[in-house]
Amino acid sequence: MAAHRTAPTTSREYQASTDSSAERPTTATPETAKAGATGATTGTTRGTEPGIRARATRSPLTIGRGPTVPTASQAAANALLVLLRLSLGWIFLWAFLDKLFGLGHETPSARAWINGGSPTQGFLANSATGPFEGFYRGIAGAAWADWLFMIGLAGIGIALILGIGMRLAAGAGALMLILMYTAVLPPANNPLMDEHLVYAMVLGLLAFSHAGRVCGLGGWWERQAVVRRCPFLV
């Protein structure tokens, strides 16, 4: 019974001593302060490193931009854009060379521009049909039409192959292709669509995807002072 009476007293004394020790301030030694600071620094660093790594690897690849290493699908898309750009550029440039020198593929030597032939006479005078037939037949063989047509073919072809002035080249090329589309209406193989409209849309894709920066001089071109002053030259 005595042991039973002293137990509550001992328990209260133990509780009081615990409370008083908890209220007493502890004095931090230099060793404990240094250890705490080191632990806090380490914890902060470990907490932020994954975030830094995530930001470094999360950046998506913008076609033709930046140093980010492309994935397999992105590399394939870039390669396809390069092939499209070079292929369309060669189509325009080859048409210019063939009509200029009469290389015999579509233009015989006797009708070459350097031999006095007209680059627009054959197509506009003989192939134009549809609602704009009269207009196109009327300008067939005109000197100004020949010069505009040949300058356009050469400029667009060179720009696409080099990857410079892509937006300007795409706009001029799309306009030329749409005019050629309207010269022969309706299309021969489809009620509405033909290759001229498809090529025009591909030119727009190449321009807005900055395809000139991939295996081309587009990045260098955009840094030039004249291009910075005249953004339409991009």
Which pLDDT belongs to residue 69? 61
Q: Under a CB-based contact definition with an 8 Å cutoff, are residues 113 and 119 in contact?
A: yes
Which pLDDT belongs to residue 61? 41
Domain residue ranges in the chain: 78-233
Which pLDDT belongs to residue 35? 46
Q: Under a CB-based contact definition with an 8 Å cutoff, are residues 93 and 153 in contact?
A: yes
Q: What per-residue string of b and e applies to 214-230 under the rule 16 or more CB within 10 Å gives b?
A: bbbebeebbeeeebeee
Q: Under a CB-based contact definition with an 8 Å cutoff, are residues 197 and 177 in contact?
A: yes
Per-residue DSSP letters for the chain?
-HHHHHHHHHHHHHHHHHHHHHHSPPPPPHHHHHHHHHHHHHHHHHHHHHHHHHHHHHPPPPTT-SSPPP-HHHHHHHHHHHHHHHHHHHHHHHHHHHHHHT-SSSS-GGG-GGGT--TTHHHHHHH-BSTTHHHHHHHTT-HHHHHHHHHHHHHHHHHHHHT-SHHHHHHHHHHHHHHHHHHB-S-SSSSS--HHHHHHHHHHHHHHTTGGGSSSSHHHHHTSHHHHH-GGG-
Which pLDDT belongs to residue 68? 58
Q: Under a CB-based contact definition with an 8 Å cutoff, are residues 167 and 232 in contact?
A: yes
- What are the CA-CA distances from residue 16 to residues 19, 72, 167, 170 (Å)? 5, 70, 83, 87
Mean pLDDT by 10 residues, the chain (234 residues): 46 48 48 47 42 37 52 90 96 96 89 94 91 94 96 97 94 96 92 93 93 92 92 85
Cα 31 → chain centroid: 57
pTM: 0.69
